[in-house]
Amino acid sequence: MTSKQLNESVDYLIEKGFHKPEIGIVLGTGLGKLAGEIENPIEAFYNHIPYFPLATVEFHAGKLIFGELEGKKVVVMQGRFHLYEGYDLIDVTYPIRVMERLGIKKLLISNAAGAINLNFKKGEIMLIEDHINFQGGSPLAFKNVGEFGSRFTDMSNPYDSEMRTKLISIAKQENISLQQGVYVSVLGPQLETRAEYRMLKMLGADAVGMSTVPEVIVANHLNLPVVAISVLTDECDPENLQPVNIEEIIEIATTTEPKMIKLFRELIKGV
């Protein structure tokens, strides 16, 4: 990755009309409907943007959308990239760097995750307080990383305290059950064994997924305030583990999505 590549991506989007977005949003698996609420949308498909990876997961749309939401200029990733698709961590996080160069000042991330904490139930939302990186690498581990920010990026408080506090307040006002906990990001795409769920619980994880952490690391590398929420789509009880049903997971994500949209819209209104 070079600054020249990033500039070409950004120049293409500016020519398309992506003019100084204030907020970037990453929509996770089964969580694409917020994109339909953007006013005056301009779309750019990933396969048209120079140096962008291509989304390969069938339920990820694969486009950037620019427009207005709650009076703010936003750019939304409808469809994200994962290591399990065969990309590397630089590919996975490339869009975050592009959005930051376009001008975003805040980043909001959503994902679908499994509840390891058995006090959390599927259909609830978890505000991520902290994370564990189990993806086996770092999006900052490349030769010329110093051109883009500090190589040794501080991660003592990776999720912006101010936006987290606002989301907690919004959830109370809107009567939305908002759990808080630690998200562990694994490689995937296979789901976990009973022994792996027991291990992750012992390590302090409350929810598990296959995304988000690389993007959060890069946001911190760019000094970009970031907040993330998980829509809990299944309960990972190792003593009562049932075969995975991807269709059911997507259905629960879709059913819970309006709560996520409400939280994000109210947050955008207030930042």
Structure tokens at 74: 């936003």
| 95-128 residues labelled b (16+ CB within 10 A) or e (exposed) | bbbbbbbbbbebbbbbbbbbbbbeebebbbbbbb
CA-to-CA distance for 3 and 145, rounded, in angstroms?
11
Identify the CATH number of the domain in which residue 63 sits: 3.40.50.1580
Q: Residue 30: its pLDDT value, please?
A: 73
pTM: 0.95
Q: Are 171 and 263 contacting, i.e. CB atoms less than 8 angstroms apart? A: yes
**Cβ–Cβ under 8 Å, residues 20 and 46:** no
What angle, rounded to 10 degrees, do the helices at 3-16 and 89-102 form?
50
Cβ 14 vs Cβ 6: under 8 Å: no
pLDDT digits (tens, 9 = 90+) for 79-135: 889 999 899 999 999 999 999 999 999 999 999 999 999 999 999 999 999 999 999
How far is residue 247's CA from residue 249's CA, in Å, rounded to a whole number? 5
Q: Which amino acid is at 1?
A: M
Whether cis (ω within 30° of 0) applies to the bond prior to 189 is yes
HEC sequence for the chain: CCHHHHHHHHHHHHHHCCCCCCEEEEECCCCCHHHHHCEEEEEEEHHHCCCCCCCCCCCCCCEEEEEEECCEEEEEEECCCCHHHCCCHHHHHHHHHHHHHHCCCEEEEEEEEEECCCCCCCCCEEEEEEEEEECCCCCCCCCCHHHCCCCCCCCCCCCCHHHHHHHHHHHHHCCCCEEEEEEEEECCCCCCCHHHHHHHHHCCCCEEECCCHHHHHHHHHCCCCEEEEEEEEEECCHHHCCCCCHHHHHHHHHHHHHHHHHHHHHHHHHC
What are the tens digits of pLDDT across the range 218-248? 999 999 999 999 999 999 999 999 888 888 8
Query: Domain total for the chain?
Result: 1
Segments forming the whole domain that contains residue 98: 3-270
What pLDDT, on the 0 to 100 scale, is given for residue 57?
Answer: 53
- Tokens 């009309």 belong to which residue? 17
State how far the Cα of 259 lies from the Cα of 74, in Å rounded to an integer.
Answer: 19
Q: For 64-78, 147-161, 239-253, which range has the lowest pLDDT when averaged over its residues?
A: 239-253
Q: Which tens digit of pLDDT belongs to each residue from 26-53? A: 998 777 889 999 999 999 999 999 999 8
Residue percentage of the chain with pLDDT more than 90? 85
- Go through the chain and tell me how many residues it has: 271
Do the beta carbons of residue 104 and residue 227 sit within 8 Å? no
